[in-house]
A and B are shown apart, each in its own frame.
Chain A
Amino acid sequence: MTAEHTPAALPEADFVIRAQELVKTFRLGETIVRALDGVSFAVGRGEKVAITGPSGSGKSTLMNILGCLGPPDEGEYVLAGEPVSKLSGNRLAEIRNKYIGFVFQTFNLLPRLSAVENVELPLLYGGVADAPQRAQEALETVGLGDRMRHEPSQLSGGQRQRVAIARAIVTDPAILLADEPTGNLDQSTGQEIMALFDDLHAQGRTVIMVTHDQEVAGRCERQIHILDGRIANGAEDARGD
């Protein structure tokens, strides 16, 4: 059962994510919601993992923690060998910049910046020297070499998501986190985006993706099913080893 949540027989150095007993609670007036209720799993380098589960089960909450947008209330989280669950503020910003590429359901591009400026932004925050050059290459990778100067409002939904993916990969992060990346796209555009993720995975990138689409989830190497803040595909014992 362990194999469901942890890739078998990997040397320690090849784990990108190790999460143990992650807990996140929200207080809404009187009621306390345990959005994450002891989640443990690991992800190896180069894996493509789908996170599935019904609405409100805690998928986005998990993604936020994996993306270092905020610390868990309890539990251990080791990202690319660095323990990050106790970090906060600016240290987390550095970690995000260095290790994580986000792809959101609503694209989340900055409106008044051109495609290439959007893609450059993480490099600028990271203090990387040849930002324009690398941003161009990333846009070419996602097939938008001819749309560099367009602003988001001048691009289609699929194109916007490609820009967002270019922005996510431009820093060459340890993981790509995508929370329902096709949720705002029509069927065929969604398939194009999925094909792009397949390509990125084939190039050796680690991808963790929240999806409602069973077909998409089926194409991933592994699925983690969340129910009421817990991993529900069988294992109680979902620790790293």
Chain B
Amino acid sequence: MLFWTTLKVALRSLLANKLRSILSMLGIIIGVGAVIAMLAVGAGAQKQVLDHVTALGSNLIMVMPGQPRSGGVRGGSYQTLTVEDAQAILAEVPEVEKASPVARGNGQFKYYNKNKESSIMGVTLTYLGIRNFSIEQGRNFTVSEVEQRVKVAVLGADTAEELFGEDDPIGEQIKIAGVTFKVVGVLKAKGTQGPFSFDDQALVPYTTAMDRILGTDYLSEIDLEIAEDSDQEAVQAAIEDVLRKRHAIRAGQDDDFHVRNMAEMVETATSVTRTFSLLLGSVAAISLVVGGIGIMNIMLVTVTERTREIGIRKAIGAKDRDILVQFLLESILMSALGGVVGVGAGVSVAQVSSLVSGFTAVVEPVSVALALSFAVCVGVFFGFYPARRAAALDPIEALSYE
């Protein structure tokens, strides 16, 4: 009964100073909006990574040139891995069932007036199996095409779609980085998104890629498929042995390559997104605190302005607690309202960023609940001091306040 009247009064006094209330809520709105948007983008990024990993399969092992982290995941600048390394691993480690050299580059794709930038993946035919790809249309390239450096390409689903639309790409000629290729196949879509999507690329024989486009003798990566149920650690160690021997690396010396399995990839990705969300989360927390100070400031002004009202309420029987609750309710209402508006703003920002960046930001209910309860806590915390000041006013002094 008293509670509802108090709530009504709180709402009316916020409405009576609309602009002022909105300005005071701005900090909370921005803070909550930021939390929601950041968490959504973080969750989206994480989901993308996990989608990639699922698409790759768990028995994939990748060998990269250079030290881990020194050149990033792509590590293109290190020239240590060769086609012979790949063949040696396949020959000497029994658990390795398939091996594909990977020579990666980027280039302009052209079909008549259609133009697009995509990844060029120089690989061998087993790459499809290693990476869980399958052919949607046409065929994979053949052993002899690889041996003879034939200019044939198997397009990713999105690349094909963008260049050819409804038309049949099989047998058509396209230009990749200025070189004419014949499209022999199209891959089935994996449904991954973003700048590193597996559906946005073209597979060509690694021999062709290295000779005719990239002009290099070194690989960007070796992709291996190991037998189901084999001991990943042991296989990894065996692979490292082979390569250290081949590269003449003595005991105690650093490797000039590194081996990664999928578990590691997931771990790296999640730790990166975790750091990212922690950083942005603390920025958001700071803006919430700033928002809280804004609310505290306006509540102190409100208490001063309404000193006489407080005196009247006390004169007719309001206890200290009644006054405390009234002003606390007002600041909570302000921060909660700011929180709700902030959630709206955050969701919109997340949606816009999904449209712009190409990967889907995921707004989780948990993060909405988290941000809202945080906003309410800010209201309680920063509203408490002004409310207590109001409650502690002397009734006689408050009544004679001009």
Contact = CB atoms under 8 A, between A and B. Distances in A.
Interface of A: 64, 67, 69-70, 89-90, 93-94, 96-98, 102, 104, 108-113, 117, 120-122, 124-127, 131, 167, 171
Given A69-B396, A112-B9, A112-B13, A94 B319 contact: yes
B136 interface: no
Given A113-B9, A117-B5, A125-B2, A70 B394 contact: yes
Contacts of B318: 93, 125
B399 A124 contact: no
Contact of A69 (B1, B12, B315): B315
A110 B312 CA distance: 8
A127 to B, nearest CB: 8
A120 B2 CA distance: 10
Contacts, number: 68
Given A112-B16, A124-B2, A70 B317 contact: no
7 contacts: A69-B396, A90-B320, A93-B319, A94-B319, A109-B312, A110-B313, A125-B319
Contact of A90 (B308, B319, B399): B319
B319 to A, nearest CB: 5
Interface string B1-19: 1100100010011001000
Contacts of A104: 399
Given A70-B396, A125-B322, A108 B317 contact: no
A138 to B, nearest CB: 13
A124 B5 contact: yes
A108 B321 CA distance: 21
A113 B5 CA distance: 10
A97 B396 contact: no
Contact of B12 (A112, A120, A121): A112
B316 interface: yes
Contacts of B92: none
Contacts of B12: 112
A122 B316 contact: yes
Contacts of B396: 64, 69-70
A125 B395 contact: no
A161 to B, nearest CB: 14
A126 B1 CA distance: 11
A108 B319 contact: no
Contacts of B13: 112
B315 A67 contact: yes
B309 interface: yes
A139 to B, nearest CB: 16
Nearest to B312: A108
A79 to B, nearest CB: 14
A126 B317 contact: yes
B151 interface: no
B352 to A, nearest CB: 39
Residue from the set A67, A111, A125 with the largest chain B CB neighbour count within 10 Å = A125
Nearest to B398: A69
Contacts of A93: 314, 317-320
Interface of B: 1-2, 5, 9, 12-13, 16, 308-309, 311-322, 394-396, 399
Nearest to B395: A69
B317 A96 contact: yes
A131 B315 contact: no
B315 A102 contact: yes
A70 B313 contact: no
Nearest to B13: A112
Contacts of B313: 110, 121, 125
B395 A97 contact: no
Contacts of B311: 108
B315 A124 contact: no
A110 B315 CA distance: 12
Nearest to A96: B317
A188 to B, nearest CB: 27
A129 to B, nearest CB: 8
Nearest to B320: A90
A112 B10 CA distance: 10
A120 B317 CA distance: 12
A132 to B, nearest CB: 10
Contacts of B320: 89-90, 93
B316 A96 contact: yes
Given A93-B318, A94-B319, A112-B9, A131 B395 contact: no
A120 B5 contact: yes
A110 B308 CA distance: 9
A4 B252 CA distance: 112
A111 B305 CA distance: 12
A102 B316 contact: yes
A134 to B, nearest CB: 13
A102 B9 CA distance: 22
Nearest to A65: B396
B9 A108 contact: no
A125 B316 contact: yes
A96 B1 CA distance: 20
A104 B399 CA distance: 10
| Smallest CB-CB A-B distances: 10 pairs | A97-B317, A125-B317, A122-B316, A124-B2, A90-B319, A93-B319, A69-B395, A112-B12, A108-B312, A69-B396
Given A96-B316, A111-B309, 9 more contacts: A67-B315, A69-B314, A90-B321, A94-B319, A96-B317, A113-B9, A122-B316, A127-B2, A171-B317
Nearest to A97: B317
Contact of B399 (A94, A108, A109): A108
A72 B317 CA distance: 19
Contacts of B16: 112
Nearest to A112: B12
A70 B9 contact: no
Contacts of B9: 112-113
A94 B316 CA distance: 9
